[in-house]
Structure 1
Amino acid sequence: MLNPHRLRVLHSVIATGSIQGAARSLHFSPATVSQHMSILAQETGLKLFERSGRGLTPTTAALSLARGSAAVLQGLDELDRQVESLRLGRSSHLMLASFTSAAREWLPRVVATLRAKDPGMTVQISLNEPYAEKTGRPVDIDIRNESPLEPEEHFKGYLRHLLRHEDFAVVVPADHPLADSATVEVQELSNQMWVDHDIKDSPNGRMIRTACQAAGFVPQFAARLDDHNAALSLVAAGLGITVLPHLALRDLPLGTVVRPLRNPTVQRRIVAHVKQDRAGEELVVAALEVLREESEKSLDEEPLT
């Protein structure tokens, strides 16, 4: 088994470009750093560095070893912090997953609240979008959106909490004819060019497609992306219209307007799934309470113009 300490030294030598630089950064002697690299080369059977002037150039093998060990070393650091927290009688580590707009609008206050209660708290946040890389590790609170037209999601070992229902709206360029309408019916979008913000079959995309089918058409796309902020920029450039939930419409680019969408109304559910074996912990309860407050507050802040 490779020695994690030597792998950390390898990362430092690569980052600083020399034995002396790593020694200064790590507060080791150059001889100690050189010895660690010699032993690591022997353990792996790899040539790790080549001389380049006064410095060292990492070989392809060394760079590959550094990339492969980065996640392992990060995991060990997290484990050390958890051990320290347990030694002090607390669990100061919380893992959250969320879709992008909820993470941006709600999670800053969640993290601030938890850190105020426990300054040693580390909150790890990952995206649960369909296109996001999965960590493979269970999260403590998982914020997801669902289609009201599909069955409720329930996950083993988690308690399900409904946070809110949220309407979708249409975003059009400011000089678009529909910008003068108080509300827009879905059928009025049948002859428009669309900018798609969902190419990975998320619940949001399925809800929008279902509404279009109910109105008797399939959208025509000028562009398709997997990021709603980029989609809004294309709308601002006059390239089409897009349909998004209100939570994603807080920072509209100049040159766009929002109009309520009707007949049919497009709506989603936002749900928090809380890990059952942590549901009673003070910090988890506090996080869920803030999520409830933020979701209720955002109902009063939905953009209408």
Structure 2
Amino acid sequence: MLDPHRLTILRAVIAAGSVHAAARNLHLAPATVSQHLRALARETDLVLFEKKGRGIMATPAAQHLAEASADTLNSLERLERTVEDLRQGRAEQIAIACFASLAQAWMPEVLIALRAQFPDAGVEVSINELQPGRGRRVPDVDVRIESLDGPPAYLEGYDRHFLFEEDFCVVLSVDHPLVAHPVVTMAELRDEPWIDHDIHDSPTGRIITRACHAAGFSPHYVARLDDYHAATSLAAAGLGITVLPRIALTGLPANLAVRPLSDPTVHRRIVAHTRTHLARARLIHTTLTALREAAQRIQRPTTDV
């Protein structure tokens, strides 16, 4: 069996670019790092590094080995944290994955509900929009976005719970001519400069793009970002309009207005997936209950923002 510690050192050397840099990062002596690399080469019967000038270069075999070991090493790290939690008496743990706007809007009250019933429990919240399931722990509750046009998604080992359907609005300057319209059609945004808040093309971005295509145009983006706060800041500076889900409309600058969209309306489905885990069943149930209560309390914001 391969030594996980040596695999970790291999990954560190590849990432740092040299034995000496990796040794500094790992707080080890360079000789110790080199010794582990030689031992790993003997274990695998692979050439892991080759000379390059005055330094070394990882071979394709080393690169592939480092990539293939990532999931195993992550799992071992999770196991080590579990052991430490048990040793420190922190047996109750729950991992929640969700998208960024929900994390900001709902996670405070979800965590308040958890702490009220489980004051010593540890809670991890990770953002799943870009890398689903890649938190420090396997998520016990995974809140995701679905398009209304697509089939419901089911995750293996999880139960699926519908939470709510959410519509999108256009966010624009208060002095924009479209503010005079109580509802803005998608076609009226055809010639507007757009600010994209989803440069990585997550489900939310794809929903907005499909709505534009349904209205017969492709948006003209003057700026593309991966954060909706930054997008609203650019809109507040008068650089263009942006389209956001209602859950992301809190705390907008005073010089921005919000209007509903039509023809087509733009919606998304929010669902929670809960893992079957007997030891954490109470924590998972409390989290799901808090999410459902938050969904029921959603109020449509005024269009006079």
Which range, TM-score by smaller chain?
A: 0.7 to 0.9
The CA deviation at 1:232 is 0.5
SS of the residue corresponding to residue 206 of structure 2 reads: helix
Task: List gaps (5 residues or longer) in structure 2.
Answer: 6-26, 36-69
Partners of 1:82 and 1:136 lie apart in 2 by 14
Map Cα deviations across residues 166-216 of structure 1 (whole Å, 9 max, x no partner): 110000011111112111011100111100111222111111111111111
In the other structure, the counterpart of 2:104 is 104
Q: Which amino acid aligns with 1:304?
A: T
Within the candidate set 71, 81, 86, 1:83 is matched to 86
Change (3 A) 1:271 1:111: same
Change in CA separation of 1:80 and 1:260 when aligned onto 2, cut-off 3 Å: same
Counterparts of 1:235-274 in structure 2 under 5 Å?
235-274=235-274
Offset of residue 279 of structure 1? 9.2
In structure 2, what is the equivalent of residue 159 of structure 1? 159
Partner of 2:301: 302
Query: Percent sequence identity over matched residues?
Result: 42
Q: Is the 8 A contact 1:109 1:290 kept in 2?
A: yes
Deviation at 1:263, TM superposition (A): 1.2
SS state of the match for residue 150, structure 1? coil
- Structural mapping, 1:283-294, within 5 Å: 283-294=283-294
Structure 1 residue 2: deviation in Å? 9.1
Task: State how many pairs are aligned.
Answer: 250
> Structure 1 stretch 149-158 or stretch 130-139: which is displaced more?
130-139
Q: 8 Å contact 2:154–2:160 — kept in the other structure? A: yes
Letter in 2 for 1:259: R
- Give the drift of 1:248: 0.6
What SS does the aligned partner of 2:297 have? Answer: helix
**SS of 2:170 mapped into structure 1:** strand
- The offset of 1:240, in angstroms, is 0.4
RMSD: 3.2
Residue 92 of structure 1: aligned partner: 92
Shift of 1:241: 0.4
**Could you tell me whether the CA contact under 8 Å between 2:172 and 2:240 is conserved in 1?**
yes
Deviation at 1:122, TM superposition (A): 0.5
TM (norm. structure 1) is 0.73
Structure 1 Cα separation of the partners of residues 148 and 85 of structure 2:
39
Residue 199 of structure 1 corresponds to 199
Change in Cα spacing, 1:278 to 1:255, as seen in structure 2 (3 Å) is farther
The CA distance in 1 between the partners of 2:226 and 2:87, in whole Å, is 40
- Does the CA-based 8 Å contact 1:2-1:43 persist in structure 2? no
1:80 Cα offset (Å): 3.2
CA distance in 1, matches of 2:33, 2:279: 44
Q: Secondary structure at the match of 2:288?
A: helix
Secondary structure of the structure 2 residue equivalent to 1:106: helix
Q: Structure 1 residue 130: deviation in Å?
A: 2.0
* Runs of 5+ unmatched residues, structure 1: 4-36, 47-67
| C-alpha distance in structure 1 between counterparts of 2:142 and 2:302, whole Å | 26
1:149 partnered with 2:152? no
> Could you tell me how far apart the structure 1 residues matched to 2:225 and 2:302 are?
23
In 2, the alpha carbon distance for the partners of 1:143 and 1:95 equals 11
Superposed CA offset, 1:263-303 (max 9, x none) = 111000000000023497212111100000011112x2434
Tell me the distance in 1 between the aligned counterparts of 2:273 and 2:151. Answer: 15
Change in 2 beyond 3 A, CA 1:75/1:45: same
After TM superposition, the score normalised by the length of structure 2 is 0.73
In the aligned structure 2, how far is the partner of 1:216 from the partner of 1:181? Answer: 21
Deviation at 1:111, TM superposition (A): 1.2
> Secondary structure at the residue paired with 1:155?
coil
